[in-house]
Structure 1
Amino acid sequence: MTATSAPASGKANFGIAGLDDITAGGLSEGHLFLLEGTPGTGKTTVAMQFLLAGEQRGELGLYITLSETENELRNGAASHGWDLGPLIKIFELVPPESLLNSEQAQTLLYSSDLELVEATQAIFAEVERLKPKRVVLDSLSEIRLLAQSSLRYRRQILALKHYFARNGATVILLDDLTSEASDKTVHSVAHGVLRLEQITPEYGGDRRRLKVAKYRAQHFRSGFHDFTIATGGVEVFPRLISAEHKTTFSRSPLSSGSGELDSLLGGGLETGSSALIIGPAGTGKSTIGFQYIDAAVARGEKAVAFIFDEELGLLEERLAAMGINARAMMDSGLLHIETVDAAELSPGEFSHRVRLAVDRLGAKIVMIDSLNGYQAAMPQENALILHIHELLQYLNRQGATTILTVAQHGLVGDMKSPVDVTYLADTVIVLRYFEALGKVRRAVSVIKKRTSAHEETIREFWMGKGGLVVGQPLTAFQGVLRGVPTFVGEEAQIGAGANLTL
């Protein structure tokens, strides 16, 4: 079961850290709540964790089931590694055998009238016998079918609400929305409503999210929050709100270990700022990012890199060829590299992983390589920009330096980015291929830097066994960023290579 903090006073906690955070500690004790969602969204799992959390506090829990059998519920709990102890009771409510016997068919009363009355009486009798502190009723669809009319259904729910209120139990009603999904009867009666949703993208695994639709007299985190179901239960990732995570720190420039690159950036990247490195594939975006990580680890600082587009073994070999020993940095505990599968990871879970890297690992440099892969995890570009905005604001306020990479479409000439986030980053570094003297070369330039002045020059750079090397400003060429420059220097510079290292 997911660990959670100490439960708030007067609250029945879920035992799910993220969900308890969203609901400000859990459910108000002694009230009735609705947990709704289509089959497969995780209602039963959340309800079981709710009862298990009560068991840890010494509270008796009762699971009343009208749809699943007790064996099915216990097998489901066992699949998560849960042992339902003596404080969790399961009451399997089945129709009386007399109502299933054709010889006992009623002629003056509908059988549904008797079934609803007997079912209600059986529920009340079991509650009176056990006096549970937490109750789960699964599911409302069965009661709705027995009631047959909206008026009778509403009266039945009100009767349940008042009965449980007198007994002081905290109740969760489950609704699988399989019949009359538009019926909002319970919404108006319940003290709070929690909705679970399941989304199937065109490619990749299912995505799950939840929202608190209603919670009387209680502040809660509004909006949708991603969650997953794995062995061990539900894990919820509350929506990141950067304004809630303010810290104080002193800004100072961070060196990359390359004097020329630092000069180009006006002394280096500042702590608590974000840098965006954009350019076509293969220009060295990841290399520049790891240049800063290598320098940070050498200073004894911790760093984390989230890699969307490259296999870890190949990355290690490529960096080793340039003198950067990523394996040694990881073995020292100062570098954590996490490969990310965009098809299986929701944006909320990714933000949660980044937060853990900063809060628990104490990472001072965070690299996301690349936003192209991050975009693949997002349904819409607008949502991507909002996620990145909150994430960058959070990292900046924690004093972490963030390095983002974006691969642009094309190799030379007109470059286009799949998503424009240049206005969000504090620093924008542009990399380009260009042709000169019969060779394809690389150029680097700083287009924007909020935190300090920077060079306005364009420099050639290359990568070799000694690592990243940044040359002198390309003063003899014009149009380098377009990919096909023209020579504007003196004739004497041609023989000298026109400030190009041959």
Structure 2
Amino acid sequence: MSGIAEHNKARLGVAGLDNILVGGLARGHLYLLEGSPGTGKTTVALQFLLEGAERGEKGLYVTLSETEDELRLTARSHGWEIDDRFEIFELVPPESLLDSEQQQSLIYSSDLELGEATKAMFEAVERAKPDRIVLDSLSEIRLLAQSSLRYRRQILLLKHYFARNGATVLMLDDLTSDANDKTVHSVAHGVIRLEELAPTYGADRRRLRVLKYRGQAYRGGYHDFTIKHGGVVVFPRLVASEHRTDFDRSPLTSEIPELDALLGGGIQRGSSMLLLGPAGSGKSLLALHFARAAVARGEKAALFVFDEELGLLFQRAKAMGVDLEAMRDSGDLLVDQVDAAELSPGEFAHRVRRHVDTAQVKTVIIDSLNGYQAAMPEENSLLLHMHELLQYLNRQGTTTFVTVAQHGLVGDSMQSPVDITYLADSVMLLRYFEAAGRVRRAMSVIKKRTGMHEDTIREYRIGRTGIAIGAPLRDFHGVLRGIPTYTGDSGPLLESEEGARSDIQGERGG
């Protein structure tokens, strides 16, 4: 993607951001990092200088807005000790404010000329001879310049001076004095903007975008990021077309013969399956049978749970013959409880990718898409996020199962909160219906891109031994509407399991 060799880049040391920038910042140029207060600019700047120190490069942090003590406190909050790893230069040292001969200062007195501040900055650069420079922040310089013309000339002066010294410069702008001023955009070699979004409920969401990178390809669009202990972590936007692998597209079975027959022999490796049905119809349990079959084949599976507490999930699955806890403890099943109020689409995709890339997971279950949607109600383009994720998993040879709970229970009132049937390679429809005075369940496959499948409807029962699936319901009409009409002479329905206590009801079905 880049005509600039990666060894000529100054890496920022921010996980994910160097990937977006195809290796980092081209050396010897001036860059702008802008964003409102609290978006993580100072943290990124500190990581930039610390990364340079790890590579034996000299760094200089020129601060006009924060004191050295505040910077060191920020660093310690992430577990970093600056010590003498790079130099911090306060353009207006706080102690000078107490000196009667130094009452004029850059920030606190309008009488001090901007040129004096520039001279002091240049002297600090000449003394330190840094390879990397951070200037924090441009808002103070903009206020001192007082006019857009003088401000632009000042930025151009800084650019040409730093270029002669060969340093890579990161300028910070908190957008407090004039958020619409694009002066530096035209001067800088590259521009990165950090944004913070406040949803109605849940944690703040942060994202960034590279607005400009002169003479360099980069990954465009918005990328989610978080600020954690240890610094900023960026989750590059997933582009499925960049990830292609070769694998055997053989069919995978569920170890339930009737279910495999309904699916035309099983699910093809590297495909996605949507399990669609009302609450309690057994969507989760069906997906877990495929996870158990994957583990039995010697493969690893991953389960991402949005809707249910893990203890309850383990308990009810074990009651129906699927010991999730044992599979998790053996390392064959990776279980990830997703906190719906703390997640962004980019971070979720990153979690899935981490399991697939590092643990070689071959079966992924997302339970459910309703929880995924509820976790990010104010995010746009969730279907595009899911499209890229499913395409990525397919191209890695990973088989994906996604559950979606429909609104309503029976009849024509059944509706889906979101339509992703066009995204999935296979779609299985689960339904309740009433017959012989009992509420029963029926399943059918209504789509399969990767081969033939039965066009029949089969009854199934959820009991203490798991799922039992019967023969095709050939003598019924209207099963999918919930109120069928029986036209045959003999009863094809499944016999009830011995004892009422062994017949697991809908709330235990998934």
Q: CA RMSD in A?
A: 1.9
The separation in 1 between residues aligned to 2:121 and 2:433, in whole angstroms, is 77
1:114 partnered with 2:112: yes
Match in the other structure for 1:385: 383
Task: Return the offset for 1:224.
Answer: 0.3
Task: Return the offset for 1:464.
Answer: 1.4
Letter in 2 for 1:236: V
Task: Return the offset for 1:112.
Answer: 3.4
- Match of 2:38, SS state, is coil
Match in the other structure for 1:30: 28
Letter in 2 for 1:213: L
1:168 partnered with 2:162: no
Going from structure 1 to structure 2, the CA distance change for 1:436 and 1:116 (only over 3 Å counts) comes to same
Letter in 2 for 1:47: A
TM-score, normalised to structure 1's length?
A: 0.94
Q: Is the 8 A contact 1:474 1:500 kept in 2?
A: no
Match in the other structure for 1:147: 145
- Where do 1:42-441 residues align within 5 Å? 42-94=40-92, 97=96, 112=110, 114-379=112-377, 383-414=381-412, 415-441=414-440
Task: Return the offset for 1:481.
Answer: 0.7
Going from structure 1 to structure 2, the CA distance change for 1:463 and 1:356 (only over 3 Å counts) comes to same
Task: Return the offset for 1:17.
Answer: 2.7
Letter in 1 for 2:234: V
TM-score, normalised to structure 2's length?
A: 0.93
Letter in 2 for 1:112: S
Task: Return the offset for 1:377.
Answer: 3.1
Task: Return the offset for 1:52.
Answer: 0.5
Going from structure 1 to structure 2, the CA distance change for 1:345 and 1:455 (only over 3 Å counts) comes to same
Going from structure 1 to structure 2, the CA distance change for 1:241 and 1:98 (only over 3 Å counts) comes to closer
Task: Return the offset for 1:32.
Answer: 0.5
The separation in 2 between residues aligned to 1:410 and 1:115, in whole angstroms, is 71
The separation in 1 between residues aligned to 2:454 and 2:211, in whole angstroms, is 52
Match in the other structure for 1:4: none
Going from structure 1 to structure 2, the CA distance change for 1:324 and 1:187 (only over 3 Å counts) comes to same
Q: Is the 8 A contact 2:444 2:455 kept in 1?
A: yes
Task: Return the offset for 1:105.
Answer: 8.1
The separation in 1 between residues aligned to 2:253 and 2:74, in whole angstroms, is 53
Letter in 2 for 1:231: H
The separation in 2 between residues aligned to 1:222 and 1:182, in whole angstroms, is 21
Structure 1: gaps spanning 5 or more residues? 1-6
Letter in 1 for 2:415: K
Match in the other structure for 1:499: 493
CA-to-partner distance for each residue in 1:123-166, whole Å, 9 max, x for gaps? 00100001011000100000011111101111111111111111
Task: Return the offset for 1:372.
Answer: 0.5
Match in the other structure for 1:448: 447
Q: Is the 8 A contact 2:393 2:400 kept in 1?
A: yes
Letter in 2 for 1:375: Q
Match in the other structure for 2:11: 13
The separation in 1 between residues aligned to 2:402 and 2:224, in whole angstroms, is 23
Letter in 2 for 1:327: E
Letter in 1 for 2:260: D
Task: Return the offset for 1:500.
Answer: 3.4
- Match of 1:112, SS state, is coil
Q: Is the 8 A contact 1:58 1:87 kept in 2?
A: no
Going from structure 1 to structure 2, the CA distance change for 1:465 and 1:235 (only over 3 Å counts) comes to same
Task: Return the offset for 1:101.
Answer: 6.3
Q: Is the 8 A contact 1:32 1:192 kept in 2?
A: yes
Question: Which deviates the most, 86-95 or 382-391?
Answer: 86-95
Task: Return the offset for 1:98.
Answer: 8.3
Letter in 2 for 1:138: D
Q: Is the 8 A contact 2:471 2:492 kept in 1?
A: no
Q: Is the 8 A contact 1:286 1:405 kept in 2?
A: yes
Task: Return the offset for 1:8.
Answer: 2.3
Task: Return the offset for 1:379.
Answer: 4.4
Letter in 2 for 1:437: A
Task: Return the offset for 1:16.
Answer: 1.5
Going from structure 1 to structure 2, the CA distance change for 1:66 and 1:436 (only over 3 Å counts) comes to same
CA-to-partner distance for each residue in 1:174-220, whole Å, 9 max, x for gaps? 00000111010000010100000000001100000001000000000
Question: Which deviates the most, 77-86 or 278-287?
Answer: 77-86
Letter in 2 for 1:273: S
Match in the other structure for 1:3: none
Structure 2: gaps spanning 5 or more residues? 497-510
Q: Is the 8 A contact 1:409 1:417 kept in 2?
A: yes
Task: Return the offset for 1:477.
Answer: 1.4
Identity of aligned residues (%): 67
Letter in 2 for 1:365: T
Task: Return the offset for 1:99.
Answer: 11
Q: Is the 8 A contact 1:476 1:499 kept in 2?
A: no
CA-to-partner distance for each residue in 1:66-124, whole Å, 9 max, x for gaps? 11111010011001000114231111111795899699889xxx963634122111100
- Match of 2:170, SS state, is strand
The separation in 1 between residues aligned to 2:13 and 2:56, in whole angstroms, is 13
- Match of 2:7, SS state, is coil
Letter in 2 for 1:372: N
Letter in 1 for 2:352: V
Number of matched residues?
488
Match in the other structure for 2:506: none
- Match of 2:154, SS state, is helix
The separation in 2 between residues aligned to 1:124 and 1:102, in whole angstroms, is 22
Match in the other structure for 1:459: 458
- Match of 1:360, SS state, is helix
Match in the other structure for 2:503: none
